[in-house]
Structure 1
Amino acid sequence: MEKKPMRFWEANLALLRQSNPDLTELVRQLEQVGPWEGPWARSKTGENLPPAPGGRPGSSLVSVYDLKAEARRWIEDTQDSGGVVVLGGTSPYVFETLLKMEKTVFFVEPRNEVLRSLLTCWDWRGVFSSPSFVFPSSEEKLRQTLQARFFPMWNGKLLIKEWRSAVENEAATFVSWKRSLSQTIEEWTGDLSTQAGLGRRWLTQTLVNLSRIRPCRLDLGDWDHALVLGAGPGLEEALDDPKNKRLLDERPRNGVRVMASDTALPVLRQRGLVPDLIVCLDAQTASYQHFLSGVPAGVPLLADLAALPVLDRLTTAVLRFRSSHPLAAYASLDYPELPFLDTSLGQVAGVALLAAARLGARRASLWGLDFSYPLAKTYARGTYVYPYFQTRSSRLEPSDSLLSAFAWRTDLVQRFSSPRGTVYTNEVLLSYKKRLETYPWPLEVLPWAGPGLELKFSHPAPLPFQKETWENPDTRGRWPRFKERLLHLWSDLDFTSFRTFQEFETGLGPEQRQGWRALWPHAVWLKTKKKTLQQAGWKELAQESRRFALEILGKI
């Protein structure tokens, strides 16, 4: 059979290496084996075509009649999408057409033999040179690139399409890639759902708190053992255990410090126990109910910069920290002293554990972190849900029924049997549990064997001991300067001069990009709440988000 001309091979490899340094090893492997020399499939006009992987001899990867028409038909359903993930190798005409439609294109083809035939057969230089074409080197790189390059709120829908002849006979090759895509979409869904509910609060409360920061210093003294308290049903058992009671009674001499989530505070107050630190993460108004019994005198609050501003009225000892919110990242330019804590764990107890590791703990015991509802019990007795449902109970709906129904407020409830009875949980709680267990903790973590799901932690690698002292300095004089600069930055953003969101983003400087992204959670909230914006393009949404944000900032 006639050999395919080799005129494209070297030029394709050279540009592939130049455009993506992550593919250096792949290019080296392809250079070692050389261009594809056959067997080829044949078009009806006698042209050589790449063979279909795993197919019968002579079967083609693309149409033997008109591969350009086939490409146009294949992309017909991509009109409403902002990005396309192409699973499996195909002709460059598919990618060129998508790129002309201003799509961001992600190409997944992990088989070197298929790549050899593609790069030998056609000229890919127009595709490889496009900044909107992404060829990830691994499943993890695909996930990272999607998170960094594609934003559903601004770019639009991401469509995942298989080139059937490339995938159907070797579907197992793409299982791990599809799993990575599913995980990314799940993360997007969770993040956007949270931002849709809290985006406006995060923006408003962060700005208010920045304008009111008071001096506060956090030093827990000589200690090495943290008791991190969640508010799950297992907290009751942990507090009733005789050995644990001694640990609490012998503070502070035994080097133990209690770091309580705000939800657990009323449970401790009810028992006459005083924590050494209260950790606050939630921005919702409902979290105020955790403090209705008061804050113990002298006990500091470690609070997210977006948490309730009213906390400053409850005590003078409030130390604000920066989290992963984009406005908090921008605020670090004027407030670098505020400590940073990674809130991607999604749970206040995880933040408390992070704080413990940096403030001097060498080991931490976890109480009340059940990540489940043992016997359909949602929280430890004494938490805010008990008085809340007691005031709403009746003869037809007693409080026990309301409390149990709280366990089924989300979909996809799962059941587990244990020696202590049935345990209920859901996907959200399981994801929180997995994040906590797999985080690279630099200290020994000792979970309490309560009635909930078992927690399993690996032993940490030895790390240098660290003990930080955190402080919020007197920053009152910084707020006017910060406010003025943010007003100018938001006002000067020019959305009208760019056709696409990607072009606009690329044209921003580092500080502009930080300030612009501070608007994103608020934009998600707006798009969800305002019907007129639900089908809006990126420019209209950006302009409206800025307008509302400037109104909020102007009132503070």
Structure 2
Amino acid sequence: MIYSGTIEAKTGHLIPTYKSGKPAHSKYNPTGERLSIAEDFFGCIIVFGIAGGFHIKNLLANENIFKVIAVESDNESLDFCLSLETVKELSKNERVALCTMENFCQCTKENYIPSLHKKLSTLFLRSWHDELPDADARVNELLNKCLDSISADISVQAHFGKHWHINILSNLKHMSQSGFINTPVKIPEGKTKAAIIAAGPTLDNSIEQLKWEKECTYIVSTDTAYGTLLNYHIVPDAVVSVDAQQVSSEHFLGITKCRTVFIFDISSNPETVRTVSEKGNKIFFIRSNHPLASLIADKAAIPYTESGSGTVTIAAADWARQQKFRQIEFFGADFAYSDGKPYCRGTYLEKKFYSSSSRISSSEEKYSTLMFRTDLEKTEKGLLGKLGKSAFTNKILASYGSTLLQWASKHNLKQNGSVFTAISSPINSNTPTPSAFDFKAFISSYIEKVQSLAARMDEISLSHTVKEILGSRELISLLPLFAASGKETITEDISLALQLLLYYNL
């Protein structure tokens, strides 16, 4: 707690005092306290120091400040501020988010939308800053940690945003034109355990076990491991693919009709989906939390499947969990490079690297480049079991492994090495009722919503535009696309989105 009480200003307003005895605001006219911000600023502002809230209230007079994230030093100080009239009023304002230093990062992630708010600025209440001797160091540490996380997320959206949007629309159009209905997968009787097959190097050591147990095990392969299993004459029961890039099609080159069920995220590369579908194979669509996928989830009967940070191994495991398998075992989920290899034998990379190998650019060199593109650290033991004699991991792989363990904990799965067992009975998921998807009706309604906003952009304020976008599921679904547009204004973003939608309606 950094406050000691309140005193009454000349205007009759109560203002907080710090433990040092200094007032947080002017004793003469606290309501006139303002923070310096450029007149043409539009976006989101983080304010460190809430105190009496007068400075924050004045910021809200600028309609182009879409969101204010106001931060206090600790919970006790925040509770004290909330006892004051102006801060109570701010807590009810949808443009304001109040938090403490402890939950600052989470609050910022939930309220700052880079693709919509565009700019982000940080301000201090000067008296608050002076009261905390370590304010600069604490704030810098918080900001760096939080902005690194947000930057990683927005960079993924910037890279994949357009791919996701185009892929979802293309797959939906294909569903509608072909009369495809997303019928749930039937699990054969007698298969009581699910095996999740990733493409880590240790998979090569597990092949005999998979062959031995295949009669009682439902084998769910990731797309990268699919070719490896086929090379060992193991036909998986299901294959999961969530990759939006065209490279995913290389996992399925030369595919023929088989008993395998191919499970694709609705944002998967449409060329890959068509390649598999045209051979007469069974396809089932799943979805992530992408707002466009969520928008059409019920209409197209596409269930939500968790994938952590977009990891196909977790997506495969979560799909198996939803099929009510009580026991899930992982193979090749190393989250590390071992014995000098990034992947097991038989993946598409092996064919690619060996076929292009030469004296001056060998396959070994290509694998080394792949492994050493980021800093590595030696690891003694994998998260799910034994690794090779010489194993290394990196921050990205380690984060994938941690996310998998978080997923297991969330769903009450008890770990024993590479096997996870459900502690309680699986909860019935709300799977949408299968039905045909009318793409023509959907895209017409979608375009109409975007056109309506685009036609009024010159007549309404930026703040009203932001509010309208956040109030519409159709317009919210455009946010990942905005992140990929590279445009500086919302007007340009809307114009680009409309062009894309009109193209897909032709």
Alignment of 1:339-488 (within 5 A): 339-410=303-374, 413-418=375-380, 421-439=389-407, 440-448=410-418, 461-464=423-426, 473=435, 475=436, 478-488=438-448
RMSD: 4.0
The corresponding residue for 2:199 is 231
CA-to-aligned-CA distance 1:431-489 (integer Å, 9 cap, x gap): 2222111121344555549xxxxxxx7x754234759999855x26x232223222322
Question: Distance between the aligned counterparts of 2:156 and 2:226, measured in 1?
Answer: 24
Give the CA deviation at 1:88: 2.9
The range that moved more, 398-407 or 208-217, is 208-217
Secondary structure at the counterpart of residue 298 of structure 1: coil
Give the CA deviation at 1:77: 7.3
Does structure 1 residue 517 correspond to structure 2 residue 480? no
Task: Tell me if structure 1 keeps the 8 A contact 2:308–2:315.
Answer: no
Task: Tell me if structure 1 keeps the 8 A contact 2:470–2:476.
Answer: no
The corresponding residue for 1:491 is 451
Structure 2 unaligned blocks of 5 or more: 382-387
Give the CA deviation at 1:229: 0.7
Give the CA deviation at 1:305: 0.9
Change (3 A) 1:448 1:105: same
Secondary structure at the counterpart of residue 418 of structure 1: coil
Give the CA deviation at 1:307: 1.1
Secondary structure at the counterpart of residue 230 of structure 2: helix
The corresponding residue for 1:25 is none
Give the CA deviation at 1:283: 1.2
Change (3 A) 1:480 1:146: same
Secondary structure at the counterpart of residue 443 of structure 2: helix
Task: Tell me if structure 2 keeps the 8 A contact 1:139–1:180.
Answer: no
- TM normalised by structure 2 equals 0.81
The one-letter code of the counterpart of 1:235 is L
Task: Tell me if structure 2 keeps the 8 A contact 1:330–1:514.
Answer: yes
Change (3 A) 1:77 1:506: closer
Give the CA deviation at 1:353: 0.6
Task: Tell me if structure 2 keeps the 8 A contact 1:261–1:278.
Answer: yes
The corresponding residue for 2:46 is 85
Task: Tell me if structure 2 keeps the 8 A contact 1:366–1:446.
Answer: no
The corresponding residue for 1:329 is 294
Question: Distance between the aligned counterparts of 1:172 and 1:460, measured in 2?
Answer: 46
Task: Tell me if structure 2 keeps the 8 A contact 1:260–1:275.
Answer: yes
Secondary structure at the counterpart of residue 206 of structure 2: helix
- TM normalised by structure 1 equals 0.74
Identity value in percent = 22
Change (3 A) 1:520 1:125: closer
Secondary structure at the counterpart of residue 85 of structure 1: strand
Task: Tell me if structure 1 keeps the 8 A contact 2:263–2:285.
Answer: yes
Task: Tell me if structure 2 keeps the 8 A contact 1:274–1:296.
Answer: no
CA-to-aligned-CA distance 1:34-57 (integer Å, 9 cap, x gap): x9657x7999xxx9974444x4xx
Give the CA deviation at 1:217: 4.6
CA-to-aligned-CA distance 1:188-230 (integer Å, 9 cap, x gap): 3233222222222222221221122224551122222111011
Question: Distance between the aligned counterparts of 1:235 and 1:188, measured in 2?
Answer: 34
Task: Tell me if structure 2 keeps the 8 A contact 1:372–1:378.
Answer: yes
Secondary structure at the counterpart of residue 303 of structure 1: strand
Question: Distance between the aligned counterparts of 2:263 and 2:141, measured in 1?
Answer: 37
The range that moved more, 124-133 or 206-215, is 124-133
The range that moved more, 296-305 or 176-185, is 176-185
Alignment of 1:206-221 (within 5 A): 206-213=168-175, 214-215=180-181, 216-221=183-188
When Rg is computed on C-alpha atoms for both structures, the one with the higher figure is 1
Question: Distance between the aligned counterparts of 1:212 and 1:121, measured in 2?
Answer: 57
CA-to-aligned-CA distance 1:316-358 (integer Å, 9 cap, x gap): 21111232222111212522x2222133442111011111111
1:290 aligned residue (235, 251, 256): 251
Change (3 A) 1:37 1:343: closer
CA-to-aligned-CA distance 1:93-126 (integer Å, 9 cap, x gap): 4313422334221112254775688678985577
The range that moved more, 279-288 or 302-311, is 302-311
1:540 aligned residue (488, 492, 506): 492
1:306 aligned residue (267, 277, 281): 267
Question: Distance between the aligned counterparts of 1:112 and 1:205, measured in 2?
Answer: 45
Question: Distance between the aligned counterparts of 1:467 and 1:546, measured in 2?
Answer: 35
The one-letter code of the counterpart of 2:499 is R
Question: Distance between the aligned counterparts of 1:177 and 1:221, measured in 2?
Answer: 56
Alignment of 1:92-103 (within 5 A): 92-102=53-63, 103=65
The corresponding residue for 1:251 is 214
Give the CA deviation at 1:409: 2.6
> What is the count of residue pairs matched by the alignment?
482
Question: Distance between the aligned counterparts of 1:387 and 1:496, measured in 2?
Answer: 55
CA-to-aligned-CA distance 1:6-46 (integer Å, 9 cap, x gap): xxxxxxxxxxxxxxxxxxxxxxxx9xxxx9657x7999xxx
Task: Tell me if structure 2 keeps the 8 A contact 1:197–1:525.
Answer: yes
Question: Distance between the aligned counterparts of 1:438 and 1:116, measured in 2?
Answer: 31
Change (3 A) 1:469 1:538: closer
